[in-house]
Structure 1
């Protein structure tokens, strides 16, 4: 799709993948609203790009409503919404309820709440694009981080559901599923996370570039690490073999130390 003059919203845009998305959309001529909880860092990024900063919580119902209202006020139309904000919480099934609640609200319900506000208008006019930053963990999994793995699977499922429900009504959906990306989330993932992802980690700019190519080609899955497609196919073809391999891999790793609060 031609991006010049389009209204784009990117959450989690103060740094990392979100900032790279905003930079790429701005360079393509889009009018961009950026959002993040870190208001100070967000203002810096917005000033650098000439984007509109709307700080706040893009996961709560009230926060999403405020963001979409502010974006419509500044852009007129929201043509592309990038649900990029995410949290990485580690631990097993025994991790405390807060880790599950935060993960569910940020990684899944933020997407649902944004779609709830945007999709009716997009269907009425016959166009709109929803971008979900998921993770290869949503296609595969990750040892030692149950809240992250489970909610990223749910984020992928919701993106698939949006596409199958509204794809013939002019709405395009893209699920971005990288493995390691050189961001704070990777550096803070502990020894196990870095051992799994750092060797093949790509830059946020590469993820943004791959997204724009996928948008041009109208592809649902965005895979900055193409090998993930083969892993995903292997998982589907022989789940028992795949699970056995995951157990072997997990046994050789130190504990994942993603945030657990």
Structure 2
């Protein structure tokens, strides 16, 4: 149900309006949806919240500080919903794809071309992963299964992870070879 997102690129020096737009769409849309849906779900003792997060919420994305930061927040909100309401019949799922062949991917520029485009999948593949994840009652839905391994490295060896991501950043800055 929380499916809107804005792919704001940029760095820490980006304009406040880009940061605000990313926060409003990537985080607050989920908060607003939950605010509307939870009372009825809690009253009847069941409901299902599907948050469109992104692999960036688990891993970060070069060249896209507002997007990465707000996707981490969207994942944290979905986790909070699950840990708070699971025992009251509310199922929560966080969908975390990498590149998906959409207009948003095409608008990501060099960072998307470098990191996302090579392994991009069709929107229908994401939908299939969501259906399977809901059927298996999984919180984390990874249409790109390799994200689980990347996330494990990030969690267990953050220095290694950050060094690798910095290499990607350097590749982005140096441009095509």
Q: Which of residues 97, 116, 135 in structure 2 aligns to 1:216?
A: 135
What is the number of residues matched between the two proteins? 175
Which of the two has higher C-alpha Rg?
1
Per the alignment, in what secondary structure is the counterpart of residue 253 of structure 1? helix
Alignment deviations for residues 207-239 of structure 1 (CA, whole Å, 9 cap, x no partner)? 001101111110001101000000001100011
The aligned counterpart of 1:129 is 48
The aligned counterpart of 1:22 is none
Calculate the aligned-residue CA RMSD, in Å.
Answer: 1.3
Q: Which of residues 176, 201, 204 in structure 1 aligns to 2:95?
A: 176
Larger RCO (CA under 8 A, 6+ residues apart) = 2
Shift in Å, 1:249: 1.5
Structure 1 residue 106 corresponds to structure 2 residue 25: yes
TM-score, with structure 1 as normaliser = 0.65
The aligned counterpart of 1:27 is none
The aligned counterpart of 2:37 is 118
TM-score, with structure 2 as normaliser = 0.96
The aligned counterpart of 1:233 is 152
CA–CA distance in structure 1, aligned partners of residues 8 and 123 of structure 2? 20
Shift in Å, 1:192: 2.1
Richer in helix (by share): 2
Q: Following TM superposition, where does structure 1 have runs of at least 4 consecutive aligned residues deviating by more than 6 angstroms?
A: none
Shift in Å, 1:111: 0.5
Q: How does 1:59-98 map to 2 (within 5 A)?
A: 82-98=1-17
CA–CA distance in structure 2, aligned partners of residues 160 and 255 of structure 1? 37
Alignment deviations for residues 45-70 of structure 1 (CA, whole Å, 9 cap, x no partner)? xxxxxxxxxxxxxxxxxxxxxxxxxx
The aligned counterpart of 2:84 is 165
The aligned counterpart of 2:64 is 145
